[in-house]
Structure 1
């Protein structure tokens, strides 16, 4: 019986977890390392999963748990700052007609579901561990880890996020760039009657929105121009978000009442990243935010990362030759889909920053989301 190929996955977020689950299912030996000691410690408040993300989660075998844990819906409301609904738009079912258009859920719950699937897959998992060095030759990669161990792998998958140390270690110099916007996020109880995402444009922020994440919870967010992080002490986070949110009507007064604990409020800049040319060097390949990142204006960050893992796993398990041609094919297949989403996500924010009033926002969103209905 032949020895299975060995893969090291660096990073235990959505992309790394998905790759691990799929490769273990195919019989490969997979080690996953995660820098945090607590795998779920900073999973965040909430997440909007479009249908193309749900399609991959179904492939991972976790769709039933996602469905039971989250809140499915099929439309988005556009409102004035005072809460008046101007328009309700039906969401495009990017995962196909047999899946909801959108599921909102608590991000820690999504992470827990994926962690459980990784554990059940039989992968070796080491927490609080990083890759200290990578030495490649024509057959594989020797990796020394910060826990003092060393391993030899046929492939290393870098899923270590926007600030990927692996990306830099293999000589890819592309770095994330701020887009000029930032977002405040918080999880709160769900006001009665909230059954979809509503977005208010205008007021003191560019966008004020919320998304139901279960029968009892939502996550709410407010988008503004980015500010120097050093000028906003963490202990003031609740005050800052409450100040912005208090200008909005409709369900916002009830939401704002719950923005009291600064440790529950997350402040993040919007960044843009797109590695061009290839997403690999030798036997080290990038997936997810390590290769691309965009503002959440189309709610496609997790979806694109999950798709990366799905496509790479398909190619790896279908080929005997893990070579430059295979990894370049992975890049070409993904870049044609990822680039339009990154560019559209950035453009939507830029129109707001520039105060463009006649932008074809519905057209851009419609074209982009229709493209995502196709299989990746």
Structure 2
């Protein structure tokens, strides 16, 4: 276990101050890394529970695990999750068509893939933020941002005001900060939606299998611990107003009951509508600069894609790593630094967003001979490179 010491401040220089807006994966990660370098960080999060109870499961590839290792939480993540190294593709009745070895995008000493309960990952990150010594305010948002050449004056929803050298907008897909600084990009629905639920792990379920065809576009699952999985079904998106939340279990079960293999056992646990999550797929990629002055976007605020490659959290974590690396190794926090951050992230993120949308498009269009394995292999192979 390595111990990290804060870097000494240059003589006569006051500590730099950063406000992080949003405490999801990217906001938490950048906070931990900046605190390690001795930078003062205030983190504000709109949800009073810090999202510690929401979500079913999450699939993390090696390149996400590589960042979590850098954050010092890999051992906890590994102990909490279920690691595996292959992906099965099946027919709707559960017949396995082929099994592909997963690419180890995080290098040879990390698993190719690890599933874990999403609330558990969030709690591990919360604990690491708390341990970092950052100041945390929950149930709090930024009401106004006023910039000048030297910094940003922020008024928070709790009535307090602060002055910061940099504001990092990590407030997600529908980022209010992105809109407030005049970046006009908005997420667009891709035409698909996903039903998700956590369930007990059937004996013998030890990897992700994806069933293509049947009444849904894709039915899949991922082991998240020795005892648990999360299961999901992807279909065309429907008007949300036409699906009352109390019918969520019935809706998901109606789709899932047509699948064989492990599905009959999983379907038994699709009972409580409050435990079923329904989300539309969105695409977002801010092509232009990710900053305005001293406010910069990370994670879903800058880019988001359908979870067809399970790279959403990985891309967000990588953003945090790259931005923190630049902020902690360069003497001057200037426009060039934030421009370099964008230049380093954009091609890699674009590759993942475009490929994720392409997979969805092939599915929506019913393209039979689409080279899904090839696109998957090429996309994930590229991610072996350090971000």
TM-score scaled by length of structure 2: 0.97
* Whole-Å separation in 1 of the counterparts to 2:288 and 2:211: 38
Residue equivalent to 2:143:
132
Residue equivalent to 2:353:
342
* Whole-Å separation in 2 of the counterparts to 1:42 and 1:293: 22
Matched, 1:303 2:314: yes
Runs (4 or more) in structure 1 with deviation over 6 Å come to none
**The one of 75, 78, 89 aligned to 1:67:** 78
* Whole-Å separation in 1 of the counterparts to 2:14 and 2:85: 47
Matched, 1:230 2:224: no
8 A contact 1:46–1:107 mirrored in 2: yes
Matched, 1:57 2:68: yes
SS in 1 for 2:384: coil
* Whole-Å separation in 2 of the counterparts to 1:66 and 1:328: 32
Residue equivalent to 2:224:
213
Matched, 1:43 2:63: no
Residue 358 of structure 1, CA deviation: 1.0
Residue equivalent to 1:292:
303
Residues 277-315 of structure 1: per-residue CA shift (max 9 Å, x gap): 110000000000000000000000000000000000000
SS in 2 for 1:220: strand
**The one of 155, 168, 175 aligned to 2:166:** 155
Residues 83-108 of structure 1: per-residue CA shift (max 9 Å, x gap): 01110100000000000000000000
Q: Flag structure 1 segments of 5+ consecutive residues without an equivalent.
A: none
Residue 42 of structure 1, CA deviation: 5.1
Residue equivalent to 2:105:
94
Matched, 1:357 2:357: no
* Whole-Å separation in 2 of the counterparts to 1:228 and 1:26: 47
**The one of 102, 112, 118 aligned to 1:107:** 118
The alignment yields a C-alpha RMSD, in angstroms, of 0.6
Residue equivalent to 2:386:
375
Residue equivalent to 1:146:
157
Match runs of 1:1-12 below 5 Å: 2-12=13-23
* Whole-Å separation in 1 of the counterparts to 2:297 and 2:52: 23
* Whole-Å separation in 2 of the counterparts to 1:43 and 1:88: 31
Residue equivalent to 2:329:
318
SS in 1 for 2:332: coil
Residue 321 of structure 1, CA deviation: 1.4
8 A contact 1:43–1:111 mirrored in 2: no
Residue 43 of structure 1, CA deviation: 2.9
Q: Flag structure 2 segments of 5+ consecutive residues without an equivalent.
A: 1-10
Matched, 1:202 2:241: no
Residue 41 of structure 1, CA deviation: 4.6
* Whole-Å separation in 2 of the counterparts to 1:317 and 1:186: 40
Residue equivalent to 1:282:
293
SS in 1 for 2:231: strand
Residue 3 of structure 1, CA deviation: 1.9
SS in 1 for 2:341: helix
SS in 1 for 2:347: helix
TM-score scaled by length of structure 1: 0.99
8 A contact 1:32–1:124 mirrored in 2: yes
